[in-house]
């Protein structure tokens, strides 16, 4: 069953939802593209690809997992129910894959289960969503994608029998060559292309921050400074365990105690990023760890384009 | 659900082994694991680290961890006393594939604190006689670095144990020299044999070369590898090597598997 909402009815519904949810929309402001809390008096629903992908809602860049005091654990405040309104199909695809990776992660799942995903776009393809909005003749067609989505329906949603406009298949002429790309990347470790890339790549890690399917992290503990800590009994020890984004592009990533570094060369770290996305990830999850959102291409300060790299490798190795 | 914390357990015994290594006994009862697996131990405020379980799963009233003081977390563990509590989660990793190896001759080759995970296998053998024969070749820098020296004396009754040190001192009566000197056909037979190796990186190449030259197959040599580990459950990417996660596909790999991981050959 699908529904129609007029523009006004959607605004009214959002006001009702705001009593219980925080609602984020992708927003453009002074050339920046980011998820912001909705300004109900002035918002625009159009497909915007934010700089930082929606992964940050479930896997924040700096997240307190729990606090502790005197060797006792103090849980953190739970996330408020959240609506992400305006997700494009590429970001929905990425979230579905990230959900598989994080299936047993307590902290990701707590945030994820409290979030309603509302997609937006001219066409749908088999992506997971709770609701999906398609603009048609001055109305929003609202498609239900899950039981969670169905629960969001209210009497102001008028029923309709229209079906969503589906794309039959999204064929990316490059990435559809899944088997060949996997073989080519796997075979190319010794290739000088990685050394050439290491000459222009800054090792800054921006590609990993903006990628919706980069999820490397590190864990560390922070102790608050204003207490006198007794090391043996942990009394007066007050602090938290954090999870922070890390990046395989950064020099320390594969370093162990004793200072040995398994990926000391930048060319090895760059290769590892491609190897993860196009070899290891598909071996684990069946699809590439890349949805071609284009963010790494847009934001790389060295203008590296992963698609050109893959094309070169395909020509050479397969 | 993984909460990167685990549960609290009490330290019931602490034993000094060498100037920088201690054994900690923890009251985890009926903990199911395989020799070669590890746990993540955390001390709130200092973080978490992976530590191999150094006791056998047949000892079901406790687990032992053998810890060397190398940094902030291990210093914080060393500051603990009997009765203090630490957080443990696990077991993680694949462990040694013991069930496939019943009745084999097992050769354990360890260097330095590489004997720690092997103690799990050794105790298992003493309790079950699982392998038809067990030999231990163990090398350290000096006699002060020998782990479990008192227990080794009790192992010798049932298990052939040969120890060598790089540098002898006036108290040392045993062998001197590299551990590879012990790998000869007089001491080792490769028929129906498998080898478990754990030690400093520099030891692996030399030992492996000798074993291969004596006719042991790449598929019968098992190595325990190490990487930076944080999540322990193959998500955070720190421990990856090729398409493998050392925390879950490993830390135990055959020589054949570890050679494939290097990317160089395909």
Tell me the per-residue pLDDT of B14-70, one tens digit each, with 9 for 90 and over. 999 999 999 999 999 999 999 999 999 999 999 999 999 999 999 999 999 999 999
Averaged pLDDT for residues B167-181: 89
Rounded Cα distance, A183 and A315, in Å: 12
A281–chain B Cβ distance below 8 A for any pair: no
Taking CA atoms, what residue in A is nearest to B266?
Answer: A187
Of A170-174, A210-214, B146-150, the poorest mean pLDDT is in: A170-174
At B101-136, the pLDDT tens digits run 999 999 999 999 999 999 999 999 999 999 999 999
pLDDT band at A224 (very low <50, low <70, confident <90, very high): confident
Rounded Cα distance, B252 and A27, in Å: 49
Closest CA to B106 of B87, B120, B90: B120
Residue B12 has pLDDT above 90, yes or no: yes
Rounded Cα distance, A169 and A174, in Å: 14
At A277-304, the pLDDT tens digits run 999 999 999 999 999 999 999 999 999 9
Alpha-carbon distance values, A253 to A55, A198, A265 (Å): 21, 16, 11
User: Partners of B243 in the beta sheet?
Assistant: none
pLDDT band at A137 (very low <50, low <70, confident <90, very high): confident
* Strands laid side by side in the B21-26 sheet: B47-52, B38-43, B85-92, B7-18, B21-26, B63-68
Count of pairs with CB atoms under 8 A, one residue in A, one in B: 108
Tell the burial category of A167 from Cβ atoms under 10 Å away from its Cβ (0-12, 13-18, 19+). Answer: middle
Out of B3, B84, B233, name the one closest to residue A232 (CB). Answer: B84
Note every long-range contact of A17-26, with CB atoms under 8 Å and residues 24 or more positions apart, other chains counting: A17/A83, A17/A152, A20/A81, A21/A80, A21/A81, A21/A82, A21/A83, A21/A116, A22/A80, A22/A81, A22/A82, A22/A83, A23/A82, A23/A83, A23/A85, A24/A57, A24/A82, A24/A83, A24/A84, A24/A85, A25/A85, A25/A86, A26/A50, A26/A86
Give residue A296's region: left, alpha or beta (phi > 0; psi -120 to 50). Answer: alpha
Quick one: pLDDT at residue B266? 34
A7–chain B Cβ distance below 8 A for any pair: no
User: Partners of B240 in the beta sheet?
Assistant: B245
**A257 interaction partners in chain B (CB closer than 8 Å):** 70-71
Peptide bond preceding B91 in cis form (omega within 30 of 0): yes
End-to-end, the C-alpha distance of chain A in Å comes to 46
Residue A232 has pLDDT above 90, yes or no: no
User: What does the DSSP 8-state code read for residue A45?
Assistant: -
Q: Please answer whether residues B95 and B247 qualify as being in contact, where contact means their C-beta atoms are separated by less than 8 angstroms.
A: no
Give chain A's mean pLDDT.
92
pLDDT band at B265 (very low <50, low <70, confident <90, very high): very low
Averaged pLDDT for residues B159-166: 94
Quick one: pLDDT at residue B226? 85
pLDDT band at A125 (very low <50, low <70, confident <90, very high): confident
Give chain B's mean pLDDT.
93
Q: From the CA of A286, how many Å to the nearest CA of chain B? A: 14
Provide the percentage of residues in chain B whose pLDDT is more than 70. Answer: 98
Q: Please answer whether residues B105 and B189 qualify as being in contact, where contact means their C-beta atoms are separated by less than 8 angstroms.
A: yes
Mutate to test the interface with B, among A65, A66, A218, A221 (most CBs of B within 10 A): A221
At A35-91, the pLDDT tens digits run 999 999 999 898 899 999 999 999 999 999 999 988 899 989 999 999 999 999 999
């Amino acid at each position: 069953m699908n529904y129609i909402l007029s523009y006004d009815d959607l605004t009214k519904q959002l006001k009702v939802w705001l009593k219980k949810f925080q609602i984020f929309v992708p927003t453009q402001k002074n050339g920046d593209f980011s998820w912001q809390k909705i300004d109900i008096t002035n918002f625009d629903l159009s497909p915007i690809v934010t700089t930082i992908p929606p992964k940050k809602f479930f896997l924040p860049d700096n997240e307190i997992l729990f606090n502790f005091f005197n060797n006792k654990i103090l849980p953190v405040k739970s996330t408020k129910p959240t609506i992400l309104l305006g997700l494009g199909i590429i970001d929905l695809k990425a979230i579905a894959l990230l959900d598989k990776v994080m299936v047993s992660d307590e902290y990701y799942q707590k945030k994820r289960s409290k979030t309603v995903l509302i997609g937006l776009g001219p066409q749908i393809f088999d992506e997971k969503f709770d609701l999906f909005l398609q603009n048609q003749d001055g109305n929003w067609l609202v498609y239900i994608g899950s039981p969670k989505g169905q629960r969001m329906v209210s009497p102001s949603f008028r029923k309709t029998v229209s079906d969503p406009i589906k794309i039959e298949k999204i064929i990316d002429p490059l990435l559809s060559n899944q088997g060949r790309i996997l073989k080519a990347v796997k075979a190319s470790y010794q290739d000088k292309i990685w050394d050439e890339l290491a000459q222009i790549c800054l090792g800054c890690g921006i590609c990993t921050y903006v990628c919706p399917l980069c999820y490397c992290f590190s864990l560390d503990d922070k102790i608050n400074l204003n207490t006198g800590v007794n090391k043996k009994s942990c009394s007066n020890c007050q602090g938290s365990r954090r999870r922070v984004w890390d990046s395989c592009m950064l020099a320390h990533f594969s370093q162990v105690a004793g200072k040995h570094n398994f990926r000391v060369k930048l060319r090895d770290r760059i290769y590892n990023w491609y190897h993860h996305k196009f070899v290891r990830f598909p071996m684990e999850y069946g699809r590439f760890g890349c949805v071609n959102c284009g963010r790494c291409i847009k934001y790389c300060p060295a203008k590296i384009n992963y698609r050109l790299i893959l094309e070169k490798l395909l020509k050479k190795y397969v | 659900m993984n909460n990167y914390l685990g549960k609290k357990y009490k330290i019931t015994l602490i034993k000094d082994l060498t100037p920088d290594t201690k054994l900690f006994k923890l009251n985890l009862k009926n903990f199911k694991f395989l020799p070669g697996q590890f746990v993540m131990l955390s001390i709130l405020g200092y973080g978490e680290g992976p530590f191999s379980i150094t006791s056998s799963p047949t000892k079901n009233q406790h687990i032992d961890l053998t810890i060397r003081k190398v940094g902030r977390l291990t210093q914080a563990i060393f500051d603990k006393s009997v009765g203090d509590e630490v957080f443990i989660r696990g077991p993680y990793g694949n462990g040694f594939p013991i069930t496939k190896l019943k009745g084999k001759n097992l050769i354990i080759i360890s260097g330095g604190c590489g004997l720690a995970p092997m103690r799990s296998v050794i105790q298992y053998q003493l309790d079950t006689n699982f392998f038809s024969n067990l030999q231990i070749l163990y090398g350290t820098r000096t006699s002060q670095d020998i782990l479990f020296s008192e227990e080794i004396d009790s192992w010798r009754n049932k298990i052939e144990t040969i120890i060598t040190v790089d540098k002898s001192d006036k108290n040392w009566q045993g062998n001197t020299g590299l551990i590879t000197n012990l790998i000869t056909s007089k001491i080792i037979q490769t028929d129906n044999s498998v080898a478990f190796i754990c030690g400093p990186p520099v030891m692996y190449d030399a030992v492996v070369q000798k074993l291969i030259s004596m006719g042991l197959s790449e598929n019968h040599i098992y190595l325990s590898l190490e990487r930076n580990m944080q999540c322990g459950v193959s998500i955070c990417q720190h421990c990856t090597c090729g398409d493998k996660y050392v925390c879950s596909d490993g830390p135990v790999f055959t020589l054949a598997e570890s050679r494939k991981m290097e990317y160089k050959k395909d």
